[in-house]
Amino acid sequence: MNLSPRHLHMFVALAQSLNFSRTADRFCITQPTLSKIVREMEIETGVALFERTTRTVRLTRDGEALVSVAARVCAEYSKGLVELEALASGWRRRVSVAALPALAATLLPAALAALQRSNPDSTFNVHDVYTDQALDLLLRRDVDFVLGAKDIIHCDLDYDEFAHDPFVLLAAAHTRLPAELQSWCPQTLATMPMLKLGKDTGMQKFIDRHFCQAGVTLASPLELNNVGTISQFVKASFGFAMLPLSTAKMIWTPGLAIHQLEGAPQRALAMVTRRHDEMSELTMALIQLIKVEAEVMLGAAPGSN
């Protein structure tokens, strides 16, 4: 049966007023148009709904039976619209983001704090996970966008590249480095004891690829799964680490030095969103705040050369 909610509302209103002229005015249509709609409804239902003379209009017995059902449907429809609006309003006041742990720690805190001050009724969800997990959350529609590195490209996603995160050398403070390490020199770095992250991490794959392109392999005395653990081994002068600047800043403590190497590989950072999806104003505001924080973060490193 092809009856729209508007048609049902007209039927209920006409059943209550029993006046074609007033009902037509209420819905901003002409009386002949209303009469045509009633005839179409009678064809759809297969029964006469009104008995109409030159002076009176009244419901038929079938019309009386149907109007209560129509009124209930209209009420449920209106209730559904209210619930839908409430959900939409909640969506406009909620932001969920997945971010690489280093970016979640360095870019999100100040950006979210600023957004919360201007939007105190809003709610925020942060998932600090690695690239594969982050993109899975985005594709499942569990987050609004991903703050990550442009490592893995999906055809259903859009990538808004907004910054570059250079790889830096993390060393124990006061460690004397070879003179040639003012700039990126993979041959020299390959001779140094270089602590590595697990092979499956995006940042380790990225830097390994650049060493491979230079025809050298890192000499690694130890492979660890946590950057915080790496920082403590570096601090104890067990070795060095090549990490993105954002990660190095996240784990830096006194006793460590971050050495920025001219010409070092840079990992592209991007806001990743679902293609063709519309973002709320709150989400777009957060993205802009993150971009501002990125400009600050990629400035001078603490303890740097």
Q: What is the pLDDT of residues 257-302, one digit of tens each?
A: 999 999 999 999 999 999 888 888 899 999 999 999 998 877 545 5
**Residue 170 pLDDT > 50:** yes
Question: Tens of pLDDT along 113-169?
Answer: 999 999 988 889 999 998 889 999 999 999 999 999 887 678 889 999 999 999 999
Fold that domain 95-297 belongs to in CATH: D-Maltodextrin-Binding Protein; domain 2 (3.40.190)
Collapsing DSSP states into helix, strand and coil, what is residue 243?
A: strand
Q: What pLDDT score does 84 carry?
A: 64
- Residue intervals of the chain classified under CATH 3.40.190.290 are 95-297
Q: What pLDDT score does 305 carry?
A: 47
CATH assignment of 5-91, among 1.10.260.40, 1.10.10.10, 3.30.310.80, 1.10.3720.10: 1.10.10.10
Q: How confident is the model at residue 218 (pLDDT cuts 50, 70, 90)?
A: confident
Instruction: Name the CA dihedral angle for 161, 148, 190, 210, rounded to a multiple of 10 degrees.
Output: -40
Question: Tens of pLDDT along 62-104?
Answer: 988 899 899 989 888 877 776 666 565 555 578 999 999 989 9
Structure tokens at 214: 């230079």
| Own/partner pairs, 207-215, CB within 8 angstroms, 24+ separation | 207/167, 207/242, 207/265, 210/167, 210/186, 210/265, 211/186, 214/186, 214/187
CA distance 97 to 91: 13
- Residue intervals of the chain classified under CATH 1.10.10.10 are 5-91
The rounded percent of the chain whose pLDDT value lies above 90 is: 54
Question: Tens of pLDDT along 226-244?
Answer: 999 999 999 999 999 999 9
Q: What pLDDT score does 112 carry?
A: 94
Q: What pLDDT score does 265 carry?
A: 95
**Residue 198 pLDDT > 90:** no
